[in-house]
Structures are given as structure tokens and as C-alpha cells.
Structure 1
Amino acid sequence: QVTTMALLGLNPNIIGTPLKDARLNDLLWSYRNKHGAIAIARGRETFKMIKVLKSGGSLALLIDQDTKVKSRFVNFFDMPAATPVGATVMAMKTGASIVPTYIHLGDDWMQHMHVFPEIPMRLTGDDEADMVYNTQVLTNFIEAQIRKHPDQWVWMHERWKTKPGEEIN
């Protein structure tokens, strides 16, 4: 998916955690970088992410995984799920737009990328409430896309492993 975005000239900056196997990590990122994607290590290069946004660049963040990052519980398939809030926080603090993209494998065995209209952020002045509300809106969007192609989501990921009270602040 990242390569598709890069080939379309979107030159995404991909936020992620390096893989434990350095050789596999290097192979994956050399392939992505070859087509214009730029890797940014999650949690280590916040200033770089803000600089990218301020210069009009784009970041690709995944928020449908239960990872060890700042998160809040929102509903996902009618169950509370610890959900990363990085995308919401970055948008709220920088004024950056959140433009969701969704890629699925079509019946023709080609990847089809859809770019949707911006999802506006609610900004009432209550940062915590806005962060949770906006994260729920983004999660609702993701859930709607998964429902269209449930066979293409990573179901083996333990999406609901973190229980309420265990989320990272």
C-alpha cells in the first residue's frame, strides 16, 4: 500500500516501529524507499513528523492496531479497544488535515486505493474529550472500510488485548 501511494506521487512518510529482524527490516524499507516512501521511527522522531506536516508533507499512520503507544479506549466493532491517538493529537496540535486512504485487493487481483475527503477535527477546547471523540470518528471510518472487505483486515492481530485501565497515557 505504501508503494502504491509513493508511485502516485504522494511520497508518504511512514510512521512505524522497526522490525526485530534487522535484515527483514532493511529489506522492507529499502523496497519502500526505492519508490519514494520515507521511514520515520515511531516515538523517536516527533520533531521530524511535525516538520513534515508544517511543510505540507504527508504522514501515514495506522491506528487500527493495539500497540504500546499513547492510546484511549473507543468502540471498535462494539467492543472497547485501546486505540492510538497520535494521528488525532498531531492533527489537533498542528492543524494538519486527516485524509483517510483505504487500499483493498480487487477481484482483478490489483490493489485499489481510495482517497476520501478530509475528516474534520472537533476542537471545543476540551483537549481530552476532543481527542477521544476524534479518535472514535477515525475508528468508525476504519470499521466501515473493514466491513466492506473483512477478509482483508489483519484479524490475527490481538486488537483487543489491552483492557480498560491498561492503556498508555
Structure 2
Amino acid sequence: MNVTPDMGSVRWPMKLEAAAAHISLWVLQRLKAEAASNLGGRLCRAVGPLLPVSKIADANLQLAMPELDAPARKGVIKGVWENLGRTVGEFPHISSLQENTAAGPGFEVAGVEHLVAQAKRGGPVLFVSGHIGNWEMLPPGVAKYGVGFASFYRAAGNPLVDRMIRDLRDAAMAVPLPLFAKGAKGAKEALRWVGGGHRLGMLVDQKMNDGIEARFFGHPAMTAPALAAMALRFRCPVIPGHVQRLGPARLRIVVEPPMTLPDSGDRQADIATLTQAINDQLEKWIRACPESWLWLHRRWPKKVMPTSHRGY
């Protein structure tokens, strides 16, 4: 259940920010899903590449995909912003998108058999993905097959905006499931959740300074080991999945077969092996469509970045 923020403790700048967010949400909700996607995509494609954070994306691309020249990287970055804008524009409409095979707004699922098998099997399952395509479609789309999962969640700095986001996510789910706060407390709660036989989804494509080192696009990248550790502790299936963008508010959820869990007898080595396998899967998806991933994060350590970009 979402807790209503204490308005007396919310400062005026936050109230103004929340008012602007509310108006933007009101506008997007009154547009059709396709129009909201187009509006968000066009705005972000025009403005995003001009923002300083786009220099981080360019540095990441130089490191990870050196085969791309400057014009190609510029095109990818424009695509990244367009996808992000479309994801924001579509967010208020996620709850109304229906599964169908026709053209136009909606979604489809590839690999349904893996979801059906897990629904019949029961017990704990870990779903793994990244910020690819419209990742917000994963929880409600998977839930329609009886395998809804709880998630980790980073709260917005503004509690009023945070409440709007949580309300939209709850509305997209037939039965709202827990959102665990990122951090030690949330990790313990998630561990108990999975240990109780429930399902959990995690986006594991961002840098975690206190994680373990694994390769990502051929370079060392600090990576969260929690998913691998839980999978090996409970010997539960790890199902990779991501969202492909087919058009405005038109999405495809791709569900892969459960991953093979290592069992060498060396727990730490097995955690490292599974964590690397997850990074490899993410890399495969991203290479297939680079503009679908959020290249805007500082994913790699400064020491491996191109010299001219280490200050960003």
C-alpha cells in the first residue's frame, strides 16, 4: 500500500515540481497511447542529445562499441533519447495496453511457453532484465501469465512524484506486488520473499560499486551479485527477458529459457560464473539494438574509459 506523504513536510519547490509532473501526466493520459509515445519520443530526441549527460553515453559507446564512428554514435544516442521519451510517454498507458497480434498499440510475448511452465511448476523464480526498450512493460506483461513478480525500486527524490509513479505501476498490475527499496533493508526483505517461494524481478545492468567485477562488452564492470547469490542459494530458475520496441506503444516481451545454474561446489566461483552469464545475455540483447539501452549511466570505471571522457 502506498503511504500518502505528509504535505507539511514537503517543501514548496517539491510541490511545484509535483504540480508540473501532474500536468504532464494529465496531458499524456488524455492522448492516445500512440500519440503520447510519439510526443515523448520527439521531445526527448530533440532535447536529450544537447544535454551534458549525452557525453557519458558517447564515452560508453566509444569504449563498448569502438567499431562505431562518431556519426553512428550520434545516431545511437538520438535513438536512446527517443526510446526513453517514448517509455515515459507510454508509462501512463501501460495498464491499458492489451496483448494482441495486430498492428498498433499493444504488446505480444515471445517465449510464452517458459512462463506457462513456471506457472505450473510454482515456487521461487528470479526474472532478470535491464533498462532495455520499455522495461516498464515487463511486470504487467508477465503477470498476465500467472507469474507476476515483486521488484526492487529506487524511490524518486520527491515523495509526491514518487507516489504518482507507484500509483501508475500499481494500476498496471492486476494484483499489486511488493516493491523493495534498494539497499540493505530491501535486500533482506527480498531474500525472505524469495525464500518464501515467491518470484522476484531485477534489472541488473547498472554499476554497483560494492558488487563484484565481471566483464561487460569486454571490459571490467562492477556488477551486482545478489541475483546470482539468491539463485544458487535456493536453486531456483533464472529467467532472462527483455522488451523490444516494435513501434509507438507497440512492444514485444521476449522471454528466454531458464539459465543453467553452475554447481562446481565453490559458491563464490559459481556466483561469479552466473553473474558473468547474465552480463553476457544483456550484452547480446544490447548489441542487437544499441539504441534500445540506456547508455546514459556511468557503467564502467573511469580507468577504462577513453582518456578524453574520464572527467564526465
Structure 2 partner of 1:27? 164
In structure 1, what is the Cα distance between the partners aligned to 2:186 and 2:302?
25
Residue 38 of structure 1: how far off its partner (Å):
3.1
Question: Contact 1:82–1:162 (CA<8 Å) still a contact in 2?
Answer: no
In structure 2, what is the Cα distance between the partners aligned to 1:54 and 1:28?
28
Query: SS where residue 138 of structure 1 aligns?
Result: helix
Residue 5 of structure 1: how far off its partner (Å):
2.8
5+ residue gaps, structure 2 = 1-134, 305-312
Question: Contact 1:53–1:96 (CA<8 Å) still a contact in 2?
Answer: no
In structure 2, what is the Cα distance between the partners aligned to 1:15 and 1:28?
14
In structure 2, what is the Cα distance between the partners aligned to 1:109 and 1:31?
16
Q: AA paired with 1:22?
A: P
User: CA 1:33 to 1:108, structure 2 compared with 1: closer, same or farther past 3 Å?
Assistant: closer
Matched residues, number: 163
TM-score (norm 1): 0.85
TM-score (norm 2): 0.48
Question: Contact 1:32–1:38 (CA<8 Å) still a contact in 2?
Answer: no
Q: AA paired with 2:203?
A: L
Structure 2 partner of 1:150? 290
Residue 40 of structure 1: how far off its partner (Å):
1.2
Q: AA paired with 2:208?
A: T
Structure 2 partner of 1:167? none
Question: Contact 2:246–2:252 (CA<8 Å) still a contact in 1?
Answer: yes
Matches within 5 A, 1:102-117: 102-107=242-247, 109-117=249-257
Query: SS where residue 45 of structure 1 aligns?
Result: helix
Q: AA paired with 1:6?
A: P
Query: SS where residue 301 of structure 2 aligns?
Result: coil
Query: SS where residue 33 of structure 1 aligns?
Result: helix
Question: Contact 2:137–2:243 (CA<8 Å) still a contact in 1?
Answer: no
Matches within 5 A, 1:158-169: 158-161=298-301
Counterpart pick for 2:239 among 99, 103, 120: 99
- Same amino acid, percent of matched pairs: 21
In structure 2, what is the Cα distance between the partners aligned to 1:12 and 1:136?
23
Q: Deviations over 1:54-73 (max 9, x none)?
A: 444321111110035x4111
In structure 2, what is the Cα distance between the partners aligned to 1:6 and 1:100?
16
| Alignment pair present for 1:130 and 2:267 | no
Residue 19 of structure 1: how far off its partner (Å):
2.2
Structure 1 partner of 2:109? none
In structure 2, what is the Cα distance between the partners aligned to 1:57 and 1:163?
40
Residue 118 of structure 1: how far off its partner (Å):
0.4
| Alignment pair present for 1:11 and 2:148 | yes
* Higher helix proportion: 2
**Structure with the larger RCO, 1 or 2 (CA within 8 Å, 6+ apart):** 2
Structure 2 partner of 1:60? 201
Q: AA paired with 1:14?
A: S
Q: AA paired with 2:187?
A: T
Q: Deviations over 1:125-167 (max 9, x none)?
A: 2111111111001110010011111101000111013769xxx
Counterpart pick for 1:90 among 201, 226, 230: 230
Q: AA paired with 1:139?
A: N
Residue 7 of structure 1: how far off its partner (Å):
4.3
User: CA 1:163 to 1:96, structure 2 compared with 1: closer, same or farther past 3 Å?
Assistant: farther
Q: Deviations over 1:69-114 (max 9, x none)?
A: x411111011110011111011011122110111121146512101
Question: Contact 2:138–2:242 (CA<8 Å) still a contact in 1?
Answer: no
5+ residue gaps, structure 1 = 165-169
Query: SS where residue 131 of structure 1 aligns?
Result: helix
Q: AA paired with 2:169?
A: R
